[in-house]
Structure 1
């Protein structure tokens, strides 16, 4: 399973958002009906629990919280590939639409019943069955039926975004087994599927009859969640209003959640404009990613007089990957030596000192900052055994160990440039008349594509500063890349279709990686639009490790598979990584609060604004 974000409220979750993968252990044999489903042993919360441990069941209801997004939107349908949707509908789980089960962000491998009152799975996870709660209702008051569930699953699986269609192909049969029960039988050995089937949004079938599900538009979806879409100013803002008749307001899994009467998202040209709006009091929460800015850029009136405060929230989740991705579909980046040369030329030490004061750590691998990360040095034990059958096709450093170059303190890292030139020469390139050329005299050229609105975790100005330093370094190699900046709609269209050489890339990873890893790194994404395999990697070894992950029968086996995958990804040299923040830094209005007990995922989808509340003024 999976899902990050910072300067804006949910764009990050898309940098992370498409699925929470989960590898799992068997349930007790024979199959047993339960209130929850877990990877290892029993769920932490027994039947009859009062509330999730990271919520405040006594939180007052009421008030408004104002959040922000960069760019704009043209659609209220985030479940298809088309359009530029309002992402909070998708990335804030349970806000407007709900699923059969609810993910606990305090347990990586546990789901609790939401629309479903119970779940039952075969001992080998070859099938899973859910039973709907009889009281479940859509926001218009109509009951949720098995017909709505079946229609939602089939429609998303056949017409929806690739994050849904890729999993649907593994469903052999979907059948109604009772008045309120539904069973999914699988055609693939994949222990995670039983969990994934509990996490699809349930839509109202009647609303979509006679309509093109793939069309973009601003018709508000009818869901079962605690909020309905209240007001929409196309491309500029969207407001969610708490439904006083929400059917699930008294459930243990929702107690203490969804406390604000109104949640409003305003859209801005970029993150810099958003920060100015926050300083002016027009936004209530700001996520700061850069340690030096956290220390030096928050001396403004609202912070000095106490209207705003700063909070730091820890977590135990992986760093994920962030930096410049190289598209191996393009000949210029197909040779790993060229990709390593780009990494050598990227003076990380100087760039990190310039942007963050050198206080944030570097991303050393895709699962860094967690137990899932590959260990230093050569692979050992079960990890080495899993990699052994693919040894001939693995890149140097995968098994032996791979370490990123540090870079130098000065803008020109001569050691890195020398290493890069050597690798380029080995790959058949040499500098002639001040320009890098191949044996036929053709110049080394490529384009760096950027989004004018920046990204979930970097403003456009920060990204451009990184690019400028990198471009200057490349001149020392006889390389003069073209830098192209596009508006968000154009950028999304080109990246969805992999029409770029190099671009900024962000991918959040969770403590429970699973099937979504195929959407990120699987070979189907080489040609299928809309995947997160922007690098175009085609690795049988990576796909084999993902298969081991989703079929693991012990935590040791799971860890070995994820760490082996981490080695393959990191030594693949697909991304030039930058720094990450090991904590979440949130500046926010002083009268909005979060529970003292924060989840292991920290500031993650399902935490803010779901667990937050507003204190009444005295």
Structure 2
């Protein structure tokens, strides 16, 4: 009772108006008087044209509908968005700082009011805010954006993310209130990330039929030129209303940002060497070490940088489709994981530059599960309704990805374990293949979007072959691959989930039972587990960092024990090649920020370098 009273008193003590920012369970770093974020150069010169590359193709300018592929640079997609990824077109009510776990500061909204009962939040819009067609951003536009994105005309992620929001209510020309179904610790902050666009976009067409019409939004850029599937250019708005706000000072410095599309990464690389691109982030370490050489590198016109980071990377892994009965057995999933030899890959393909993913919250000191269960975690376990199932499925030590030590004996040991597990699960080797009781051979197909993935999967296929499992990997057009993943039409997929520095409502879409059957969701594996659902609810309703972190460690521990994914690896640094004219802030790259996002938003062109 005493704890409940203290909590209620804390709610009543909340300030009426939090004009400049909010922190998730802590006081935000930046005071109301701040002039710019610490990680930007507030005096960065404006101007110049930035040309980048993109892989694959695109066929629409609406990033929020499920069907089709939007261009790079818009910052959103129907399959969800991450707060640390910036787009060029859409401003939101609030914007994050990248050097805090989860803080939001006013952008379109100049004031934020959280109700004392935490069942609603009201935003007051900045009267200076303007769309790219010159019209003012009003509360009715915010409501239109919210209602549209939560409708069936848009992708499913927003509906999942905002499931606890009852409705948006316009209370004045520039004020809007969001009413909640129930109390939710972070909902007043995540709704601030709502991308706002004008109802005039599409000229009255149904939203899911807006395809080639450029968005009318309030962000720093607008679409300039488009050659569908091949090229897109964004032009910085000279009338951008937020250019001098503290949350935008020193950012979005180029006059134009263009993307040239290529069918494969080799084409991008050769274009960079020829001088047609200004910068490129290389993801193949083999290419980086062996091929980024030549006259322009020798002369200093092109610069190679390895930018170290401790970014929260989440879980990159191989996701088996649990909707297929053969992957339902945890012993099968464990066997598949034992055949993935990270140590060999790191030594022979990655030049020691990768780290093994060991957590769904990799690189987060307080969110990653540790070998020992903490007292805070044990207290949560004792309260779980699914406690017995949790304990039955998390016996033994915390499972970490198995190491072969890059030795033949280490791999042999892991494969022997895998054979034993598969035999226990009812799979036997006969007639040249691993077969189930009906005699069906174990064959796995993985569709990939680029050849570099094939280089990684080839040794995995060899290892699985020793178990009698055939792994086929096929190069697919990115748009076809996206559709197959959206429809859950796959055996196994390379997936990236988690990685938030402050996990919350996005976990419904990543791991929730409801999202397992929602086409287009992030829950590729198809996890439908009451234990996961219950722990996610604890995380979403945590009101301080300590309780959130304890619940996140519990979720991490359980997911690892279930072997819902085969952990792969993560990058310990970014590999960026760029022209000498590009400069970046002296401050270290913030933990939350992707290198590509930093280059897009915080770098600048030195006008004195030709």
Q: Distance in 2 between matches of 1:438 and 1:168?
A: 42
Q: Which moved more, 1:407-416 or 1:327-336?
A: 407-416
- Give yes or no for the alignment of 1:607 onto 2:598: yes
Do 2:454 and 2:473's aligned partners in 1 also have CA atoms closer than 8 Å?
Answer: no
Q: CA deviation at 1:410?
A: 4.8
CA distance in 1, matches of 2:608, 2:198: 39
Residues 485-510 of structure 1 show CA distances to partners (whole Å, capped at 9, x for unaligned) of 32112111110011111122223612
> Quick one: which of 425, 428, 433 aligns to 1:427?
425
Distance (Å, rounded) in 1 between the aligned partners of 2:362 and 2:395: 16
8 Å contact from structure 1 (residues 82, 215) kept in 2: no
Change (3 A) 1:88 1:325: same
Q: Distance in 2 between matches of 1:124 and 1:300?
A: 63
Are the equivalent residues in 2 in contact too, given 1:36–1:110 (CA < 8 A)?
yes
Q: 1:38-61: per-residue Cα shift (whole Å, max 9, x none)?
A: 213432222232112111111111
Partners of 2:498 and 2:271 lie apart in 1 by 26
Do the aligned partners of residues 508 and 565 (structure 1) sit closer, same or farther apart at CA in structure 2, a change above 3 Å counting? closer
Counterpart position of 1:256: 250
Q: Are 1:472 and 2:462 matched, yes or no?
A: yes
Q: Map 1:458-469 to 2 at 5 A.
A: 460=451, 462-469=452-459
- Residue 168 of structure 1 and its aligned partner are, at CA, apart by 3.7
Quote how far apart the aligned CAs of 1:290 are.
5.1
Partner of 1:13: none
Alignment partner, residue 50 of structure 2: 65
Q: Which residue of 2 aligns with 1:275?
A: 269
- Pairwise CA distance, 1:572: 2.0
Tell me the alpha carbon deviations over residues 430-458 of structure 1, each in whole angstroms, 9 at most, x when there is no partner. 11232212234x2232332223x32xxxx
- Tell me the alpha carbon deviations over residues 223-268 of structure 1, each in whole angstroms, 9 at most, x when there is no partner: 1111110000110010000111111222121111111001001111
Partner of 1:343, secondary structure, is helix
Shift, 1:208, TM fit: 3.6
Q: Is the aligned partner of 1:404 residue 2:395?
A: no
Please give the alpha-carbon distance, in whole angstroms, between the structure 2 residues aligned to 1:392 and 1:196.
Answer: 33
**Higher RCO (CA < 8 A, seq sep 6+):** 1
Question: Is residue 442 of structure 2 the alignment partner of residue 445 of structure 1?
Answer: yes
- What's the offset of the Cα at 1:127? 1.1
Q: 2:304 aligns to what SS in structure 1?
A: strand
The 5 A counterparts of 1:518-537 are 518-537=508-527
Misfit runs of 4+, over 6 Å: none
How far has the Cα of 1:409 moved from its partner? 2.6
Say if 2:231 is the partner of 1:241: no
Aligned to 1:82: 67
Instruction: State the alpha-carbon separation in 1 of the partners of residues 353 and 27 from structure 2.
Output: 40
Given that 1:372 and 1:511 are in contact with CA atoms closer than 8 Å, whether structure 2 keeps it comes out as no
1:327-346 matches, within 5 Å, as 327-346=321-340
Name which of structure 1's ranges 55-64 and 285-294 shifts more when overlaid on structure 2.
285-294
Q: CA shift at 1:584, angstroms?
A: 2.1
Cα distance, 1:513 vs structure 2: 1.3
Q: CA deviation at 1:27?
A: 8.6
The partner residue of 1:29 within 9, 14, 21 is 14
For residues 189 and 60 of structure 1, the distance between their equivalents in structure 2, rounded to whole angstroms, comes to 45
Q: How many residues align?
A: 586
Q: Mark the runs of 5 or more structure 1 residues left unpaired by the alignment.
A: 1-24, 455-459
Check whether the contact 1:27–1:41 (CA below 8 A) recurs between aligned residues: no
SS of 1:221's equivalent in the other structure is coil
Between the aligned partners of 1:600 and 1:324, the Cα distance in structure 2 is 25
Structure 1 residue 600: deviation in Å? 2.9
TM-superposition CA deviations, 1:458-494 (whole Å, max 9, x none): xx2x211222212222222222234333211211111
SS at 2:388 equivalent:
helix
C-alpha distance in structure 2 between counterparts of 1:374 and 1:66, whole Å = 38
- 1:478-493 matches, within 5 Å, as 478-493=468-483
Match of 1:323 among 317, 328, 331: 317
Q: How does 1:207-246 map to 2 (within 5 A)?
A: 207-215=201-209, 217-246=211-240
What's the counterpart of residue 112 of structure 1? 105
Q: Please give the alpha-carbon distance, in whole angstroms, between the structure 2 residues aligned to 1:314 and 1:435.
A: 44
- Is residue 161–residue 509 contact of structure 2 (8 Å, CA) maintained in 1? no
Task: State the distance in 1 between where 2:395 and 2:525 align.
Answer: 18
* Equivalent-residue separation in structure 1 for 2:571 and 2:372 (angstroms): 27
| RMSD across aligned positions (CA) | 2.1
Q: CA deviation at 1:527?
A: 1.1
The normalised TM-score by structure 1 is 0.90
User: Matched residues in 2 for 1:114 and 1:304: separation?
Assistant: 44
SS in 2 for 1:90: coil
Structure 2 unmatched runs, 5+: 1-9, 77-84
How big is the shift at 1:295? 4.3
Distance 1:95 1:48, change over 3 A: same
Counterpart secondary structure, 1:503: strand
TM-score between both structures, scaled by the size of structure 2: 0.91
